[in-house]
């Protein structure tokens, strides 16, 4: 798990190398892209609860192994959702913004479709200062159209205290959340359409583990408002208790 395909790589909110992040998936409704997700084993994807809470699970299509989503000649891997389990999510607070989707059949692990590693369950580890990476097909700037190509941005993880000391109030940032970005200058961030996608970091063994799920923020890349993510380490045991009929790769 978590093996990235490295080639010529462009950093800073621009296009990734082709299939550089083979665990990144996109969710579609009526063939229209609307959210991201990540493959966690051969049968399940992880996403944000707010991406799926208001929809019937059988309406959601999951696409994997894709780089240019506008390329109609490429045939990516597609699956449909047969089960949807979301945590105790509330639109009022955006706490517990995490959901696990079961695919209608397992996917074959290839160079272009691989799961991301899940971190160890450790609610006390903050990951402050870790350089993380978010990837998705969301809008490249606030108010713009979704990107055709998978984009990647490097973002430092902040302590929750630093996040609360930005322009968010302390009530807005819960223990199950994680902030990442540049609160002083803004500029780099996840945006509309990136919701549900992964925030991952490279471990010492060069594999990527998912630390966050893109959840919410105020605007995109605005100074004082870093991106807010669901903190995956808080939910690893819950995720594993649901994704039981899939095969987690040995690390």
Quote the radius of gyration of the chain (alpha carbons, Å).
16
What percent of the residues of the chain are helix, what percent strand, and what percent coil, each to the nearest 5? Answer: 10, 35, 60
Q: Respond yes or no: is residue 194 known to be catalytic.
A: no
The residue annotated as part of the active site, out of 38, 86, 195, 200, is 195
User: Half-sphere exposure of 60 toward its Cβ, with a 13 Å CA cutoff?
Assistant: 26
Q: Respond yes or no: is residue 74 known to be catalytic.
A: no
The residue annotated as part of the active site, out of 42, 67, 86, 97, is 97
Q: What is the 3-state secondary structure (H, E, C) of 143-195?
A: CCCECCECEEEEEEEECHHHHHCCCCCCCCCCCCEEEECCCCCCCCCCCCCCC
Q: Respond yes or no: is residue 154 known to be catalytic.
A: no
Q: Helical H runs in the chain?
A: 49-52, 160-164, 236-242
β-pairing, 208-216 with 151-158? unpaired
Which are the catalytic amino acids?
Answer: 50, 97, 195
């Amino acid at each position: 798990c978590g093996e990235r395909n490295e080639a010529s790589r462009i950093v800073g909110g621009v296009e990734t190398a082709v299939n550089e992040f083979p665990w990144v998936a996109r969710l579609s409704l009526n063939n229209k892209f609307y959210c991201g997700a990540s493959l966690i084993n051969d049968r399940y994807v992880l996403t944000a609860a707010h991406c799926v809470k208001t929809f019937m699970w059988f309406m959601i299509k999951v696409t994997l192994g894709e780089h240019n989503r506008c390329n109609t000649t490429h045939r990516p891997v597609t699956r449909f959702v047969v089960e949807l389990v979301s945590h105790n999510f509330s639109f009022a607070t955006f706490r517990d913004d995490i959901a696990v989707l079961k695919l209608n059949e397992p996917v074959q692990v290839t160079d272009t479709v691989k799961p991301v590693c899940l971190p160890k369950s450790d609610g006390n580890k903050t990951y402050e200062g870790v350089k993380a990476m978010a990837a998705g097909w969301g809008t490249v700037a606030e108010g713009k159209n979704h990107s055709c190509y998978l984009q990647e941005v490097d973002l430092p993880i902040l302590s929750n205290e630093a996040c609360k000391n930005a322009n968010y109030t302390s009530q807005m940032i819960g223990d199950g959340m994680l902030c990442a970005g540049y609160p002083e200058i803004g500029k780099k961030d996840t945006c509309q359409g990136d919701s549900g996608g992964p925030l991952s970091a490279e471990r010492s063994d060069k594999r990527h583990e998912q630390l966050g799920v893109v959840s919410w923020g105020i605007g995109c890349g605005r100074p004082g408002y870093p991106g807010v993510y669901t903190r995956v380490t808080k939910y690893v045991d819950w995720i594993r208790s649901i994704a039981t009929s899939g095969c987690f790769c040995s690390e």
